[in-house]
Structure 1
Amino acid sequence: MQELAGIINRMKHHPRLELTVNENCQVAVPPDILEKLLQPHKLSFYYFVFLEEGSETYKIDLQDITIAGSQLIFGLPNQIFCNPTQVHHYPNYKVGFDESTLALLPNSFPFLLNPLNTNTITFDPEAKERVKSVFSNLFQLLHTKGKPPKTEIVLAHLNTLLTEFNSAYFEQSNQVIVANPKLNKYIAFKLAVETHLTEQHDVHSIAEKLNMTTSSLYGVVKEFAGVSPKEWMTNRLMLEAQRKLQYSNFSVKELAYELGFNDPDYFSRLFKKYTGKSISTYLAEHHD
């Protein structure tokens, strides 16, 4: 398992931005980086692949995800990601950037919290053409010889691109975030948990932070995630445990404390209940 902290800096295509944009693999990736990207690796940046035609299968957090033409797949920081290894690649655009670049954009993008628990976006024909056009313009901006483009122009294109992604993400599930206060609350719940993931929140304290009752929070999380808030938080911690085991050699005790559990034995039982495997068995199967 590869942990690629800082790799976006080596691949960046602008002197002032941690940003990489590629069109049909025209810009070669250094061989040592490419070798790592073709293996499962922990993302340290946001990564998007837009496929014009054909189909390709990626792996995110140990799950195979196939996208076809007019679809996009995205990986988020800390997710375990693996690119397809086939020799032939279909026409595509790729963009990657880190938190520092995202912080420079004027808009916020709720889809980056993945509230609908899907790492794919499907575009209608009109949106597909707009996304392709913005991608193409951004690629040309960054890769035309001469003086580097102004930072604000590059950021304007990136902001437009993410706005298209955000809109299509919610439209594909018929969720309009502006007009859906329940969805806004669910996103706020996810953000509250993610911001302090290892603090072992209790449902009551999170409900208070969100100005909700525990029963109303339960209803919102159950509607969008299919589980209770407590189950959602436990599932999220177990996913984080699996991620950490992919690229680290923690002992059971170290991993338990790392994730905020005071009782390693309880953590071990919880992990086995969630995955169906003991930590030692999981490590033996997934470490290469």
Structure 2
Amino acid sequence: MKRRTVPEIKMIDYGQEHLRRQGFVAMPLMASMQKDPQRSAPHLHDFYQVTLLGGHGRLMHDFREATFSGPILFFVSPGQVHTAYPDPGAEATVVSFTREFFNAHTGDAGLLAELPFYYTSSTPPWLPLEAEETTIARDLFREIQQEFDAAEPGAAEILQALLRILFIRAGRWYRRAHPVGRATRASRLVRDFHLLVEHHFHDWQTLEPYAHQLGVTTNHLNDVVREETGRAAGEHIRQRRLLDAKRLLLHSDLSVSEIGYRLGFNDPSYFSRFFRRYAETTPADFRNEIREKYQSSGD
């Protein structure tokens, strides 16, 4: 088996097994790092997380970094390379859940896709909280932790409801911090396009299948995306492929050619030219630089 520079971590073995099997775990962040030290270094996983952090520390998230001071929510989508470095004395609770758990027993399976802080590239995946927001968030996280720890009958349904309440409120706070104006037909089209890109960028590398799925022409899709975001629709697809290339260069031992093939490039030299054009460095140089940075960042 090839060694992974940054591991893909499964949902941690904590709490009642029947809730973990359904796709949910809540626990103190420091306890998770003590139980599995890999979590204190950059890693990724195939489920969602939301963490409430207090105190001071640093966050790393898909090649973005930030320091935090005071209460902050930190959102992680599946596949994103990330970690948190809380300073001594910092407190944090991390909630992990799968899409299937979040959508179970609800009449609306679309809320998760509409949240502004998951799968975001133009705005940060963290949210500093005001005093009133902090009180509400701490109460919700406390109730989530208590419900998870007790694991009484009906706990899964209550946890799903608490998560939805948390995210509806967090969505309000996030939109106040990052106003985007009233939702329009154009903004909804762009959001739907971004979600399609997230799920199909490996296979759909031209605009035609996206436009077909969205029920619009390629010209209309490109015009609307450019008007709403300032970038052509094809540029969003290319940037998403570039992000996956960076992730693979960081956390896998695949060769540059193998990474190119995995991303749908039939010619390794074309992949290298693509990467150099948009990352302004070669894949090999990027791999060396980012590994050195990430491996030394936790020291």
Q: If the TM-score is normalised by the length of the shorter chain, which range does it land in?
A: 0.7 to 0.9
8 A Cα contact 2:57 2:86, kept in partner: no
- Which residue is equivalent to 1:103? 103
1:114 aligns with 2:120: yes
* 3-state DSSP of counterpart to 1:227: coil
Aligned residues: 280
* Alignment counterpart, residue 243 of structure 2, candidates 239, 246, 251: 239
Provide the C-alpha distance between the structure 1 equivalents of 2:234 and 2:125, rounded to a whole number of angstroms: 23
Aligned 8 A contact 2:15 2:148 in 1: no
Q: Tell me, yes or no, if structure 1 residue 72 matches structure 2 residue 73.
A: yes
SS in 2 for 1:167: helix
Moved more, 133-142 or 160-169: 160-169
What is the correspondence of 1:215-226 to structure 2 with a 5 Å cutoff? 215-226=219-230
After superposition, residues 191-270 of structure 1 pair within 5 angstroms as 191-270=195-274
Tell me the secondary structure at the aligned position of residue 88 of structure 2. coil
Q: Return the TM-score normalized by structure 2.
A: 0.82
Counterpart residue identity of residue 31, structure 1? Q
What SS class does the counterpart of residue 15 from structure 1 fall into?
A: helix
Closer/same/farther in 2, CA of residues 79 and 225 from structure 1, 3 Å limit: farther
Matched residue of 1:249: which SS? coil
Q: For residue 193 of structure 1, report the CA deviation from its aligned partner.
A: 1.3
State the TM-score, normalizing by the size of structure 1.
0.85
Alpha-carbon spacing, 1:212–1:185, altered in 2? closer, same or farther (3 Å): same
Change (3 A) 1:119 1:24: closer
Conservation of the 8 A alpha-carbon contact between 1:18 and 1:98 = yes
CA deviation after TM superposition for structure 1 residue 277, in Å: 2.1
The residue number in structure 2 matching 1:84 is 85
Asked if the contact 1:141–1:149 (Cα under 8 Å) also holds between the matched residues in 2, the reply is no
Q: Secondary structure of the equivalent of 1:265?
A: helix
Kindly provide the amino acid, as one letter, of the partner of residue 284 in structure 2.
Answer: S
- Residue of structure 1 in register with 2:43 after alignment: 41
* SS of equivalent to 1:3: coil
**Residues 33 and 39, structure 2, Cα contact 8 Å, conserved in 1:** no
What are the within-5 Å matches in structure 2 for residues 126-165 of structure 1? 126-144=132-150, 147=152, 150-165=155-170
The one-letter code of the counterpart of 2:50 is F
CA, structure 1 residues 134+92, in 2 after alignment: closer, same or farther (shift >3 Å)? same
CA RMSD of aligned residues (A): 2.6
1:259–1:206 distance in 2 versus 1, CA, 3 Å: same
The residue matched to 2:165 in structure 1 has which SS? Answer: helix
Name stretches of at least 5 consecutive residues in structure 2 with no aligned partner. none
Paired position in structure 2 for 1:275: 279
Q: Deviations over 1:67-109 (max 9, x none)?
A: 34343121111111021153331x4332111233223262422
One-letter amino acid matched to 1:282: F
- Aligned counterparts, 1:168-207, within 5 A: 168-175=173-180, 179-207=183-211
Q: Among residues 10, 15, 19, which one is paired with 2:13 in the alignment?
A: 10
**SS of equivalent to 1:201:** coil
Structure-2 change in CA distance of 1:101 and 1:138 (3 Å): same
Contact map agreement 1:49 1:94 (CA 8 A) in 2: yes
Letter paired with 2:70? G
Give the Å deviation of 1:163.
1.9
Partner secondary structure for residue 65 of structure 1: strand
Q: Cα deviation per residue 1:236-279 (whole Å; 9 max; x = unaligned)?
A: 10110110122211122211111111221111111112222222
Distance 1:277 1:115 in 2: 21
TM-superposed deviation, 1:55? 3.5
Residues 249, 256 of structure 2: 8 Å contact kept: no
CA displacement at 1:122 relative to structure 2: 4.2
Question: Who is 2:32 aligned against?
Answer: 29
Q: What amino acid is the match of 1:164?
A: R
